[in-house]
Amino acid sequence: MLIQKKVQESSGRKRDKISNRMATATTVLKDASNPPAAIDVEFAKCDCCGLTEECTPVYIACVRERYGGRWICGLCSEAVKDETCRSQKDIDTEEALERHMKFCQQFRSSSPPTNPSEDLISAMKILFRRSLNSPRKKKGSVFPSSS
């Protein structure tokens, strides 16, 4: 009798779990058939690097509030946080943002090379010469030899 009672309790719990899973699956299917309303999206241009991102107005407002009315992209935001941490003296977010904006402005104002192909070839030539001039590993090295 005791075993039969435990089996009935166990099967009752299993039925409850199955019915809960079926109800959840039904809810998921209903939600999938009714697409959510369109989310209002705006384009925002980063005040540092000029990258344009698609964001909700609420997110844009939060970022502007955090950075003194300026909108900055996620990458620049991380760079500002990094600048705050890396600085030898304690600086606030505003000063870190100013430093990053100055860096971005200098980067954008630098002129591109006159001939990028020649620059690439020159850089590869230098790397090749360095590899030829570097001392070779001896037989007792960590890396196996090709012979």
Give me the pLDDT at residue 146, please.
55
Q: Give the number of domains in the chain.
A: 1
For residue 35, tell me if it sits in a domain: no
For residue 94, tell me if it sits in a domain: yes
Which residue from 104, 113, 114, 115 is spatially nearest to 77, judged by alpha carbons?
104
Mean pLDDT, range 39-45, rounded to an integer: 91
pTM across the whole model: 0.50
For residue 80, tell me if it sits in a domain: yes
Give me the pLDDT at residue 55, please.
93
Tell me the residue range of the domain where 93 lies.
42-109
For residue 57, tell me if it sits in a domain: yes
For residue 104, tell me if it sits in a domain: yes
Give me the pLDDT at residue 38, please.
76
Backbone angles phi, psi at 115, to 5 degrees: -135, 95
Give the mean pLDDT of the chain. 77
